[in-house]
């Protein structure tokens, strides 16, 4: 029987991993998407959409569908599902690994202000600028809702829901983004501070280069930790090699 691998996805790396696994003999792949994006890019193989009902619900799903291994390839800031996956995998005694793209690293000329939360980012903003390019997604905008003196350009895949800042222009767009396009956004909207999560990867990195060129500060929200004891791969290729090692024998 093929090994049934559950990929907790929704990221570019998760799709690439599914694309690598599906054609291989000996694997059956199910990708799970949270369902927060209206029109997600679907990976190959079997796909399920929606939550599991916490760690216990995920454990029941793993048992019912005879899952042999779990790969947590969710967004670095998904957070809660990663800990649910660790609990569920331990409960049913199946191997778990995490696929996390490497985080960004500041280079000479960057003016980064690192914080550990969106609330921390909001507290820093009044001292850094007045026209904010907010690229942290549509979730968590309540942290910035009280900053009435600031103007925000908020970019996300789907439209946000209240509460959010009163003075906010919404830009609906999906990466990857070009350096020239990011330069133009900063210039046209007279942006003087950028807010981002440390998502890593190349698709949204040009905004960091554009901010450095423009000499504007960047508020970077650091990543939550991966659950203790979970092995981590940095690329889909590394994840496949680690999966083979964890399931061999």
pLDDT for 41 equals 79
In a domain, 125, yes or no: yes
Please state, for a pLDDT cut of 70, what percent of the chain lies above it. 98
Cβ–Cβ under 8 Å, residues 225 and 86: no
Q: For the chain, how are helix, strand and coil distributed in percent, rounded to 5?
A: 30, 20, 45
pLDDT average, residue stretch 30-51: 86
Cβ–Cβ under 8 Å, residues 12 and 235: no
| Gyration radius of the chain's alpha carbons | 19
In a domain, 149, yes or no: yes
Cβ–Cβ under 8 Å, residues 77 and 200: no
128 and 208 inside one domain: yes
Is the pLDDT at 35 greater than 80, yes or no?
no
119 and 214 inside one domain: yes
- The residue with tokens 């026209």 is 131
66 and 118 inside one domain: no
Is the pLDDT at 37 greater than 70, yes or no?
no
217 and 233 inside one domain: no
79 and 148 inside one domain: no
Instruction: Return the bridge partners of 134, or none.
Output: 154, 195
pLDDT for 139 equals 86
149 and 206 inside one domain: yes
pLDDT tens, position by position, 54-107: 999 999 999 999 999 999 999 888 879 999 999 999 999 999 999 999 999 999
Give the Cα separation of 248 and 139 in Å (integer). 39
Burial call 81-112: b when 16+ CB within 10 Å, e when fewer: bbbbbbebbeeeebbbbbbbbeebeeeeeeeb
pLDDT tens, position by position, 138-179: 889 999 999 999 999 999 988 999 999 999 999 999 888 999
Cβ–Cβ under 8 Å, residues 207 and 177: yes
116 and 217 inside one domain: yes
Q: What is the tally of structural domains in the chain?
A: 2
pLDDT tens, position by position, 199-226: 888 878 999 999 999 999 999 999 988 9
* Full DSSP string of 16-34: HHHHHHTTSTTEEEEEEE-
What CATH number did the domain enclosing 118 receive?
3.40.50.720
For the record, the structure tokens of 8 come out as 């907790």
168 and 243 inside one domain: no
Cβ–Cβ under 8 Å, residues 4 and 31: no
pLDDT for 62 equals 98
Q: Which of 78, 10, 14 is nearest to 226 (CA)?
A: 78
pLDDT average, residue stretch 177-189: 97
197 and 140 inside one domain: yes
228 and 212 inside one domain: no
In a domain, 142, yes or no: yes
Domain boundaries, position 208: 112-221
Residue 16 CB neighbours (<10 A): 18
Please state, for a pLDDT cut of 90, what percent of the chain lies above it. 83
Average pLDDT, rounded, for the chain = 94
- Strands 193-197 and 131-135 come out as parallel
In three-state secondary structure terms, 115 is strand
141 and 80 inside one domain: no
In a domain, 95, yes or no: yes
Residue 191 CB neighbours (<10 A): 24
Is the pLDDT at 249 greater than 70, yes or no?
no
177 and 228 inside one domain: no
Cβ–Cβ under 8 Å, residues 195 and 120: no
């Amino acid at each position: 029987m093929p090994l049934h691998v559950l990929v907790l996805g929704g990221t570019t790396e998760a799709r690439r991993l599914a694309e690598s696994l599906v054609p291989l003999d000996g694997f059956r792949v199910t990708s799970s998407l949270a369902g927060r994006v209206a029109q997600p890019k679907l990976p190959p193989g079997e796909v399920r959409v929606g939550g599991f009902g916490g760690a216990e619900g995920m454990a029941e799903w793993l048992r019912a569908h005879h899952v042999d291994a779990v790969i947590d390839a969710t967004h670095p800031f998904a957070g809660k599902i990663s800990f649910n996956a660790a609990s569920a995998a331990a409960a049913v005694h199946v191997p778990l690994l995490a696929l996390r793209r490497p985080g960004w690293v500041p280079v000479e000329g960057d003016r980064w202000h690192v914080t550990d939360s969106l609330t921390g980012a909001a507290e820093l903003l009044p001292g850094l600028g007045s026209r904010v390019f907010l690229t942290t997604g549509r979730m968590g905008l309540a942290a910035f809702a009280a900053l009435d003196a600031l103007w925000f350009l908020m970019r996300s895949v789907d439209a946000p829901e209240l509460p959010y800042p009163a003075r906010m222009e919404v830009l609906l767009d999906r990466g990857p983004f070009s350096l020239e396009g990011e330069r133009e956004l900063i210039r046209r909207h007279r942006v003087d501070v950028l807010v981002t999560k440390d998502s890593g990867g190349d698709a949204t990195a040009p905004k960091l280069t554009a901010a450095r060129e423009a000499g504007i500060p960047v508020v970077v929200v650091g990543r939550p930790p991966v659950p203790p004891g979970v092995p981590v791969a940095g690329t889909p290729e590394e994840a496949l090699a680690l999966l083979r090692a964890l399931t061999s024998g």
